Amino acid sequence: MVLRRALAWSAGLALLFVTVVLVSATLGYADITPLSVAYVVLNAVAVPTVDTSGVTWVHPFEFVVPATTTTIVREIRLPRIVLGGIVGFALALAGTVMQGFFRNPMADPSIIGVSTGAAVGAVAYIVFGAALTSAVGGILPQIVAGWGLPAFAFVGAVVTAFGVYLIASEGGRTPVATLLLAGVAIQTFLGAVISYMLLHAGDGLEGAVHWLMGHLQYSSWWRVRVALPVVAVFFVLLLAYARDLNVLLLGEDDARTLGIEVERTKRVLLAASSIVTAAAVAVSGVIGFVGLIVPHAMRLVVGPDHRILLPTSALAGAVFLVATDTVARMGPAEMPVGIITAALGAPFFLYLLTKREVHAL
Amino acid sequence: MIRLDSVGIELGETTVLDGVSLSVEDGQFLALVGPNGAGKTTLLRTCNGLLGPSRGTVTVDGRDVSELSAREIGRLVATVPQETSLAFDFEVSEVVAMGRTPHRSRFSTASEADRAAVESALDRTDTAQFADRSVSALSGGERQRVVFARALAQETPVLLLDEPTASLDINHQVRTLSLARDLAAEGKTVVAAIHDLDLAARFCDSVALLSDGEILASGRPEEVLDAERLETAFGVRSAVGTNPITGTPTVTPLSDAPPGDRHVHVLGGGQRAARTIGRLVDAGIEVTAGVLPEGDAAAATARSVASDLVTAPPFGPVPDDRIRAASSLAERADATVITAPLTDANATVATASARLLALDGVETPNGRADVVTEAELTAAAEATSPTHSPTKRS
């Protein structure tokens, strides 16, 4: 019953996602028809076949498409669209988990300081990275060039989440309220650190501010390959804990008497959602409101059961971010998508607040 | 079966439980009673592993609770907490199904046994009728029954109830406790923290009286519920009688007006006399009564709260020694209240009194009595100057 509902909703949203992806791929400066997009995608399909010489990849489709079209779709639009999907998926997933974990509808993926930690790492890299690599010299700059920013952001995020967790834990217990307050305090402190670095950013200022707004401009298949496995693995892990998350909504004492190892479960949920968020923020900067609004909206649609809510909310996040990023890159001057999500998200949130009583999960 | 062996618990600096030893057998329904802060909830929380004792051991079915995993405890002990946060949109049947958590592996779908347990739990708690409603749309009492259903679905040998009747109407108070008693009769070990002493006495096989983290007494309700012990535990005077309908002890707490130095003798029987005795005692006035026929409603009241009582066999002439005994009480009293038309015997007793009061509507001898309403009575009695040194209450 639950499984069937989860599958039906997920299938519907997955179909919507594919549609949004294909439509988004046709939109942009260059006019590309949906048919051309379909051709490019189909041309990329490869089937492994085994013969005497080993495994070879056979492309069953060979539609004739102009080379520039293929390049625009395959190397510019699709990586950005797919990465946007992954980031939206990750943020909405982590947001859903955090709202359940904190039993608080105002929680979002960055509530314990993950995003701010990522921002410290990213800004530090942008401001001081160039000086660092040129000082070291040699081959390092080339290696660091691609990896540096996401790596610094990811490490900053994970270290911050872990730090907040350690501060809030005492005697093997981590009270949720303490965690929340420790997160707020650490975010405030790290905000000061970021401001200080921006003050001394010099040439790096523009890049740093741009990153902080959250955007998908530097998307690449490489970033997809880095983010996708992380998000996929922890999505499966979180899905396995969906029922525990439901029981946790009854309160920690009740959950414990129902056989849940509460502290261990909280650690798993916190770690998994922090890593998922870190992976998303590392490749896209701080894109706000997706992780707050999407879980909310989906909870109103499918109900509070996390077995259904986790996959549907994540898929809806993917759809939402691909759609908003399409709007972001359509304008005369490209805008960071974080501005769009916030500009759309906040009024929608206020609408929910006034239309419905959103005081409970 | 639960066994607590000299269990001590400190929360911060405070000792909440101090050397508590208690054992509850299979099929037994034990009520934990005691004042707020006595440690009832804490005791329940040591039985389900939410609190680890600082000293002593807690065993359930012979296994030390502190050595069991949450899942193992979840299969042994089900708890209905005092408060539960159900402020979200799960359906009632979904919440009840969560009771199956300790029996299900992470990826399994609901088995036939799971479904049967949920269905029977909904049935027995009278919640099946709103199984597909959202819990956030239920009243407090309905939610409490849903949580009871969830605990039943857990199918554990031990059931702990923390104030299970607190927000229930009288119908569901009785239904819930009857169900708990039935579950005990089926072999479960049931422990309930209950504030209502009458309900505890009526439904439980045994009662443990907790005060300041210690067990003052435990045993059958009529052995444990004793006015003196209750005063030690609760710090309030009370009258323990027998409920005429259930035959079980009934406890009536009296207001804690300090016993004053006034003494009033009550003449006449029936409901009005009983009410008068209650009112006077409640105001801290010492009361004596008689001569009353045995079995009179006022006699039952007087027996539990009055400091002295003279009775005589009903339907016969009152023996002279009874009249003399009553007269000497009336003589010592600051005032005597006439609550019903005087019998010959009581007319004699009335002559011994220094001051006579009569409730309105009651015919009085020779117009000698001051007429007062029931509401004015205590004030009138207090206004009487004490003429004799009062007999001290024991």
**Domains detected in chain B:** 2-246 (3.40.50.300), 263-382 (3.40.50)
Residue-wise pLDDT tens digits, A33-54: 888 888 888 888 888 888 777 8
pLDDT over 90 (residue B351): no
Task: Determine contact, residues A269/A101, Cβ cutoff 8 Å.
Answer: yes
What pLDDT shows up at residue A361?
A: 47
Q: Do B98 and A240 lie within an 8 Å CB cutoff?
A: no
What pLDDT shows up at residue A359?
A: 47
Q: Among candidates A146, A84, A137, which has minimal Cα distance to A290?
A: A84
Question: Which residue of A249, A258, A305 is in closest CB contact with B74?
Answer: A258
Residue-wise pLDDT tens digits, A289-310: 899 889 988 988 898 899 999 9
pLDDT over 50 (residue B390): no
What pLDDT shows up at residue B217?
A: 92
Report, as an integer, the average pLDDT of A239-251. Answer: 92
**Secondary structure of A133-177 as H, E, C letters:** HHHHCCCHHHHHHHHHHHHHHHHHHHHHHHHHHHHHCECCECCHH
In chain B, the percentage of residues whose pLDDT exceeds 70 is: 95
Mean pLDDT over each residue of chain A, to the nearest integer: 87
Q: Among candidates B148, B147, B253, which has minimal Cα distance to B198?
A: B253
pLDDT over 50 (residue A155): yes
Number of H helices, E strands in chain B: 14, 18
What pLDDT shows up at residue B391?
A: 46
What pLDDT shows up at residue B280?
A: 87
Residue-wise pLDDT tens digits, B198-250: 999 999 999 999 999 999 999 999 899 988 898 889 888 888 888 878 888 88
Q: Predicted confidence band at A61 (pLDDT cuts at 50, 70, 90)?
A: confident
Number of H helices, E strands in chain A: 15, 2
Report, as an integer, the average pLDDT of A61-66. Answer: 86
Residue B112 near chain A (CB below 8 Å): no
Q: At A310, is the secondary structure helix, strand, or coil?
A: helix
Task: Determine contact, residues B282/B255, Cβ cutoff 8 Å.
Answer: yes
What does the block give as tokens for B169? 């109407």
Query: pTM, whole model, 2 decimals?
Result: 0.83
Q: Do A246 and B154 lie within an 8 Å CB cutoff?
A: no
Residue B116 near chain A (CB below 8 Å): no
Q: Would you tell me which residues 253-292 of chain A have a C-beta closer than 8 angstroms to some C-beta of chain B?
A: 253-254, 256-262
Report, as an integer, the average pLDDT of B270-283. Answer: 87
Report, as an integer, the average pLDDT of A58-69. Answer: 86
A172 φψ region: left (φ > 0), alpha (ψ -120 to 50), beta (else): left
Q: Do B49 and A253 lie within an 8 Å CB cutoff?
A: no
Q: Do B74 and A361 lie within an 8 Å CB cutoff?
A: no
**Strands B158-162, B77-80: parallel, antiparallel or unpaired by DSSP?**
parallel
Q: Predicted confidence band at A67 (pLDDT cuts at 50, 70, 90)?
A: confident
Residue A103 near chain B (CB below 8 Å): yes
Provide, as residue numbers in chain A, all residues whose Cβ is less than 8 Å from the Cβ of B71: 259, 261
pLDDT over 60 (residue B387): no
Q: At B53, is the secondary structure helix, strand, or coil?
A: coil
Provide, as residue numbers in chain B, all residues whose Cβ is less than 8 Å from the Cβ of A240: 106-107
What pLDDT shows up at residue A219?
A: 83
In chain A, the percentage of residues whose pLDDT exceeds 90 is: 43
Sheet containing B263-267: which strands, arranged edge to edge? B308-312, B286-293, B263-267, B335-338, B356-359, B370-372
Provide, as residue numbers in chain A, all residues whose Cβ is less than 8 Å from the Cβ of B98: 246-247, 250, 258
Report, as an integer, the average pLDDT of B375-387. Answer: 74
What pLDDT shows up at residue B389?
A: 46
Task: Determine contact, residues B151/B78, Cβ cutoff 8 Å.
Answer: yes
What does the block give as tokens for B329? 């009480």
* CA-to-CA dists, residue A285 to A132, A165, A319, angstroms: 22, 22, 18
Q: Cα(B393)–Cα(B113) distance, rounded to whole angstroms?
A: 61
| ipTM for the whole complex | 0.82
What does the block give as tokens for B28? 């037994």
What does the block give as tokens for B195? 């504030």
Q: Do B88 and A246 lie within an 8 Å CB cutoff?
A: no
Provide, as residue numbers in chain A, all residues whose Cβ is less than 8 Å from the Cβ of B102: 258-259
Residue-wise pLDDT tens digits, B125-146: 999 999 999 888 888 888 889 9
Residue-wise pLDDT tens digits, A183-208: 999 999 999 999 999 998 888 888 88
Q: Which residue of A has its CA nearest to B71?
A: A259
Task: Determine contact, residues B225/B197, Cβ cutoff 8 Å.
Answer: yes
Residue-wise pLDDT tens digits, A306-338: 999 999 999 999 999 999 999 888 877 788 898
Mean pLDDT over each residue of chain B, to the nearest integer: 87
Q: Predicted confidence band at B76 (pLDDT cuts at 50, 70, 90)?
A: very high
Report, as an integer, the average pLDDT of A13-25. Answer: 93
